[in-house]
Structure formats: C-alpha cells, structure tokens
Structure 1
Amino acid sequence: MPRTKQTPAFFRLITGTLLAGTTLAGCTSSTHNPNLPVGAAAYQVAPATVPAPSVYAITPRDVLQVRVYGEPDLSVEKAMVDDAGFVQLPMAGPVKVAGLSAAEATRQVTTLLGSKYLRDPQVAVSVDVPAPRYVSVEGEVKMPGVYELNSNMTLMGALAKAQSPSVTAKLDEIVIFRTIDGKRMAARFNLKDIRTGISPDPVIMDGDIVMVGYSRIRGLWQDFLKMAPIFNIFAVISTNS
C-alpha cells in the first residue's frame, strides 16, 4: 500500500535557528554589561526614594514672576530663565538665577537694583511655572520616546508611559542612565523583582534615559510565530510511493 510520509523540514530548520539563537542570547544582550551595578549597588545610583529638597532651585526654562513694589515698569509677570540660566529684567539686564532659590534670587535682584537705580527697592521673585522635566525610554518598549515626568515618577511609571515592555524585552536588564555631579552613571534593574515587590521601584529623575534590553531568543520565537501561518508547517511536505 502506498504510504504518505510527512517531513517537517521547515520545523527542524526553525528549531535549529531557535537553538542557535539561544546560544547567542546566553552570551549577548543589547544592555548586558557585567560592570554595571546591580542589586543593592544599583540603588546607590538610582535610589528608590529621593528626599524632597528643602528649597526649590531655579532651573533653565522656569518661568518667574518678578515684582518690584511701587515700580510697575520694572516688574515682570512672566520672565523665562534661558538655557544659560539668565533672566532678562528691565534696567537690571541679564541676571544669573539658575541654581538659586527664590529667596536668593530676590536678594540678588534687590542688590542689583539698589546699587544703581533705586533706593531701598522692595523685590519679590517667585517661580510661576516650573520647567518641564523629561525622561527618555528606549529599547524594547511598545512606544519608545521622550516623556514628561510627573512628580515622584518611578521606573514602572516611566515604562507605563512607553506602553510597557514589549514581548521581546529582557526584563532583568533594565538600565537607567543618569548624570550625577557631571558624571555619566548607569545601573541595571530587574523589573520582575520590582513588579513582585522583591526590589523597590527606583525614582526617575529629570534627564534619565531608561533602556530596556532585548531578549534574542524571544525575538526569534516571535519571528517564528509570524512565519508559521504562512508556511503552514504541519502540511505534508513530500510524499513517497
């Protein structure tokens, strides 16, 4: 009797490819760096809690309100701090305010106006609109991009802004890049541990970059699943009499 022989050659090919990918995935990853601090050391770079500053430091792109009592022509309702940290004021000209508290900026403007133009000026400087803060989320997330920070945003909140990690993400290789005292720093976190409460959720700071690693084997498996309906691997490949 003739007998039909099924030869799942394509399945063997894909299996071999996935096995090869497993070997590669065990050796490399887009964010794998054995020198990056992990575990408790990572939280020295990106702590789970950041103490609230006792005073707010003025930064570029803050919008200030500067009032000189009795001198409406010298008052400014909306004065934006430029990227160099200066604010332009009538008569006083450019005044460096970045890094100062509102009280310190008030004393500085008072001194400038009192030394040249006014006798005993009464000045009040306040932050009307704080500058927006941003985090960049890259790598294996559904919507990579730059997002505005909410107050006290954590790593999980930043990932939620990017529509969460993709199916090909390597959840134990989430890297946060941060500039601390002018130095570029990085630390690696395990999102699985954070989600389950084993590890705390680190706070995200202005200018942070979050990079989500790529799982090569999961990527190959996803490619296989996309290809399988096209090739219909369970169909008869060949027949022999």
Structure 2
Amino acid sequence: MRVYLAGAVLSCAMISSSPVHAQEVSAPAPVASVLPSAGTALNDPGPLFDDYYIGPYDLLEITVFQVDDLSRTVRVNARGLIGLPLIGQVQAAGLSARVVEEEIARRLTECCLQDPQVTIFIKEFVSQRVTVEGEVTKPGIFPLSGRTSLLQAIALAAGVSEIADINQVSIFRTLADGNKEQLVFDLEAVRSGKVDDPLIQGNDVVVVGSSTTRSMVKGVTDTLRGFIGFGTVR
C-alpha cells in the first residue's frame, strides 16, 4: 500500500488546473572572471616549472663525463649534504639537480678539471611528500616516489569529487627563502594539453576548490531523494 502526502497531491492538482503564462526573462549580463588564467602564479612567484628539489636521503647518481673515478651514486645525508672526492661536501637538499650540477662543475673547475660536464639523475625520492585536499575522493598526504605532476598527485587522491571546481585547482608552495606562493590551474586546460601539467615539489599542498553550482545541484538532488523516500511507504 502506498500513502502519498496530501499536500503534494493537492499542489499538483492546483498546478494542473491553473493556466500558466510564460514570461520572458532577460538573460543576465555576463560576469567577468576574477580568477587568474590557467597556470598563473599569484604575486609574481617566478617560473612555474622548476626542477624537483632534492631532499635528505634521496639517492643521486652523479656522472662526470669521461671521468669514471669521480662518477658515483651517493645518498644525501640528514643535513642535506653529499660527499664527493676532490671537492668534499656539497649542499644538495633544497636545491634542484641542475643547481647542484653547476656547483659541482664549478668546484671541479677550481680544483683540477677543465670544463667538466656533470649530470645528476635522482634514483630514489625518499624525503618528499605532497598533501592533496579539498574536493577530492580520498584526501591525504602521499609520498613522492618519482617525478610527479599535478594530474598524478590528484590521481593519488582517487580523483576529484562530484562537486569539484576543476577550473580552480591551487598548488601552495613554500620557497627556499621561506616565502610562500600560490599557483592556480585550470585542470581541464591541463588535461587537454593547452597548459603543461606542472611538476609537484616536495611538501606542496594541492587544494581542489568546490563548485557552488555543483554543490547546489547535489543538495537539491539529495533533498528530492529524501522527499521521495519520505513520501512513499511500502
């Protein structure tokens, strides 16, 4: 037996028996977007796609071209240093591989080599983490096991939620000098290849914004489901 709410039935009857007069409604004026364009950094933070920053306990493969005795695999110690023959300890943590390459080459030039060619390959990423929160399926803190892009970081959190605003995805980053920056991306533009998929750095915080429209639609849908469930008794 089904029992329906009398009020709902009465309302439907009144609507069906009353004439409906259509009214012309003017379209609202377009609203200018106040969000930065995809990939725009707030407060002019500088380049978006810096190399990965080396951290303590990362494993580095250092190659000095045609000088096998100086090429080796070393692990960054707790103080962020690596030890190399002829030049001693070199600061690595908090710097990109490119910067460390240049420093090693400079010191080898001062010491004993002419125009040394130094390359660094990061074999293990141990110290770095990324936090993904906001409108994602499984927010949390995730280890970086290699070079990780924004899309890959969001995938670690099982993707965005149904009310996510993919046009407003922020990366909050602490720079080497202690200053902070916010980078705002349009995820749809990144997915389509219109904007490069940015590289995540250690200790970045990724925040996926919430869409007001999608949130309202979900709220209405949930309310209707509850109403139908309340109005019908089996």
TM range (shorter): 0.5 to 0.7
1:129 aligned counterpart, secondary structure: strand
Flag the structure with more relative contact order, 1 or 2, with Cα contacts below 8 A and sequence separation at least 6: 1
Match of 1:129 in 2: 122
Normalization by structure 2: what TM-score?
0.53
Question: How far apart, CA to CA, are the structure 1 residues paired with 2:232 and 2:156?
Answer: 43
Question: How far apart, CA to CA, are the structure 2 residues paired with 1:152 and 1:190?
Answer: 18
| Residue identity in the other structure for 2:216 | I
Question: How far apart, CA to CA, are the structure 2 residues paired with 1:224 and 1:134?
Answer: 39
Match of 2:157 in 1: 162
* Corresponding position: 1:206 with 2:196: no
* Corresponding position: 1:63 with 2:60: yes
Question: How far apart, CA to CA, are the structure 2 residues paired with 1:152 and 1:70?
Answer: 32
How far did residue 71 of structure 1 move? Answer: 11
Match of 1:140 in 2: 135
Matched residue count: 190
How far did residue 151 of structure 1 move? Answer: 5.0
RMSD between superposed Cα atoms in Å: 5.0
| Residue identity in the other structure for 1:212 | V
How far did residue 212 of structure 1 move? Answer: 1.4
For residues 96-111 of structure 1, the aligned pairs below 5 Å read: 96-97=91-92, 99=95, 100-102=99-101, 104-108=103-107
* Corresponding position: 1:233 with 2:226: no
Higher alpha-carbon deviation: 199-208 or 166-175? 199-208
Structure 2 unaligned blocks of 5 or more = 9-33
How far did residue 8 of structure 1 move? Answer: 6.6
Contact 2:172/2:181, CA 8 A, preserved across alignment? yes
2:36 aligned residue (35, 39, 46): 39
Structure 1 unaligned blocks of 5 or more = 10-36, 115-119
**CA deviation string 1:74-130 (max 9, x = no partner):** x6833112353311357965443554443531453676xx6xxxxx68998652435
**CA deviation string 1:196-236 (max 9, x = no partner):** 969735524313321112455356457547x739x822326
For residues 180-191 of structure 1, the aligned pairs below 5 Å read: 180=175, 182-191=178-187
| Residue identity in the other structure for 1:143 | K
Distance 1:232 1:50, change over 3 A: closer
Normalization by structure 1: what TM-score?
0.52
Contact 1:134/1:148, CA 8 A, preserved across alignment? yes
